[in-house]
Amino acid sequence: MTLSTSGPATPERALSTPALSTPARSTPVPAGTVASGVEFDIDEFGPHFGAEIRGVDVASATDDEVRAIRAALIDYKVIVLRGQDLDDAAHIEFGRRLGDLTTGHPVWNSGDVPAEVYSLDSTDNGFADVWHTDVTFMPRPPMGSILRPVVLPRNGGDTNWADAELAYRSLSEPIRELVDKLSAVHDGSREFGYYLKQRRGGRGNVWDGKEVTDLPPVTHPVVRVHPETGRKSLFVNPGFTSHIEGVSDAESRGILDLLYAHLTKPEHIVRHRWRLGDLVLWDNRNTLHYANRDYGDNRRVMHRITLRGDEPIGPRQP
């Protein structure tokens, strides 16, 4: 499919600008377009989200192309670009053209890489084989993530993404009304607390201008309103969400189990098989992801940078 960002919008093919509040791509209401004269060859992964953009070299992309890529990210939630010849410096430079960058991770020491890079090395517990949304245990989780492979096993190590916006829309109305009212606690100490205390001596990295010395739990709405589109999505994940506030432990487990089972239904998921030269962007505000750990003792190294986000807002918040 050729997708022009300068022609008239159509319900299925329009790219929305970051500042516009537009309906979901599958909703029969025209969306905004990027008036940049850019055309992309788009291979959609499915009827609802995920797409590969072909024929773009991000290292030499024009400003119009970068704006259109960001618009496509908002529209498709997960974007794959293949054949990209990037090192860490070029990876970071592209990220800066999309938005402000965070440090690579609040607490993890990735070694001899730039501060903006989070290196996930399978030889040093760099696994992501649990459904999660990046860094939701901080007050301002990243807006988005940009990931590229550095070392890949011969096969295996695919990454899956779940569309939390689609999952919210496909809940029954009574359940939507219930979860709209709820908040959940996200706790990074379960995954990174021991590491921060024992391997970093209680001194993590700088996140949002402050050195991370502990990981107190934070509360976010169970349903998040996307700050650029106004659409709702489920904002809980098995990796970092510990419990629902204001209900019993049994009720919390029941609600979260229901939501996790619903989020990860096959019709809510796309899957990517990695090749060297791939670059994948995703919107961290309305997706979860899971990296398959099916490659045995083979090594897998991925480098990720993240775009600075804002504080999640729910439907019942001003």
Torsions phi, psi for 286 (to 5 deg): -145, 25
Which among 87, 59, 56 is positioned nearest to 69, based on CA atoms?
56
Separation of alpha carbons 255 and 165, rounded Å: 17
Tokens of 31: 């969306």
Give bridge partners of residue 183 from the DSSP assignment: 221
Q: Say how many residues make up the chain.
A: 318
Beta bridge partners of 80: 52, 280
Based on the residue annotation, tell me whether 48 is a catalytic residue of this protein. no
Sign, CA torsion 28/223/74/164: negative
Contacts of 12 (CB under 8 A, 6+ apart): 25, 26
Which among 263, 307, 305 has a CA at the least distance from the CA of 18? 307
Q: Is 74 in contact with 68 (CB distance < 8 Å)?
A: no
Residue by residue, DSSP assigns 209-243 as TEE------EEEESEEE-TTT--EEE---TTTEEE
Q: Which is the catalytic residue, given 134, 187, 278, 283?
A: 134
Count other C-beta atoms under 10 Å from residue 267's C-beta: 11
CB atoms within 10 A of CB 194: 10
Catalytic residue, from 48, 91, 148, 304: name it: 304
- What letter does residue 101 receive in the DSSP assignment? B
132 classed as catalytic: yes
Query: Does 220 qualify as catalytic in the annotation?
Result: no
* Half-sphere exposure at residue 227, Cβ-oriented, CA atoms within 13 angstroms: 13
Catalytic residue among 132, 148, 243, 268: 132
Give the closest residue to 116 by CA, choosing from 133, 136, 98: 98
Q: Which one from 272, 289, 300, 303 is the annotated catalytic residue?
A: 289
Question: Is 289 an annotated catalytic residue?
Answer: yes
At 88, list the tokens. 């860490």
192 DSSP 8-state letter: H
Active site residue ranges: 132, 134, 289, 304
